[in-house]
Structure 1
Amino acid sequence: MSQLDSMTPKQFFKALESASPTDSLPPLATLLDAVQFNEDGLIPAIAQQHDTKEVLMMAWMNREALEETLTTQRVCYYSRSRQKLWRKGETSGQQQRLINAALDCDGDTLLVQVDQTGPACHTGRRSCFYVSLGADGAKITSEPMIDPAMLYGKKTP
């Protein structure tokens, strides 16, 4: 599939639609060049617990965060509020070890399957998706595993 090197990102991912698992792909750097980062240079990254398939959180990655994640196997995101790389767990200790990373068919969303240590959410809950919505209203579906103040060193246990 060496012709992929000269394609636009959209053409690149369109060509992958007919690829099979036995086809060889271009080098990782070429594939990352085709990733559809948004106008801010970011791609949404959905974190999923690898064994239970529970969706833990969604965050953003820039190319540097994605490359670091792939190289170190420790998940790194890009913090839009702090405008810098954010290595999951650097403050709370609740790290994510990369098991697998996969792009969607358009190359504009990333799924990172991880082994999550403790809660993934800054609220101390396992998942950030704990507000369930329905026709009858909303409800909280889980309790915090850890007091968020303890996660970030604001209070002693």
Structure 2
Amino acid sequence: MKYWIVIICALFAFNQPASANDLSDIAGGGPPSDRMAVLQTLNIYLSVTDGKDRSAIAKSFHPTAFLMSVSSKGALRSLTQDFWWERVSQIPDDQPSRTSRVLIIDVSGHAAIARIDITNGGDGTTSTDYFNLQKTSAGWRIVNKTLSQPI
């Protein structure tokens, strides 16, 4: 019997989202099923950069989503998904891994907010991404991403 428990636990761990977070580690509120669906969308988003998976953009972002930042001089910038992919695709393959942690998922009706903190493996610098998501007919999609660091 003990071996079956180990096998079941191993299978469960294998199917967990890529971020290694579960809802018990994430602040916020709303129905657990919606919060888990938002977490799955965010994990797909993380595979864009972590796995250089361009197809993950269409799976996690609504086509009209905005990506917002400021320039180094403080001017507001609206970035396209194509521009963001070009930046991601230029990251060297030998770049040290980064750590991403989902800290907040809060759901109300068809709207959600989320926060992900990112620590770069090479120099230890951190940044935060904020997200607005909407529950669409295709599921939860990111409709706005706001970066904490200038681009």
For the criterion TM > 0.5, the same-fold answer is no
Q: Which structure shows the bigger proportion of residues in helix conformation?
A: 2
Q: Which has the larger radius of gyration?
A: 1
Point out which structure has higher relative CO (alpha carbons under 8 A, 6+ apart).
2
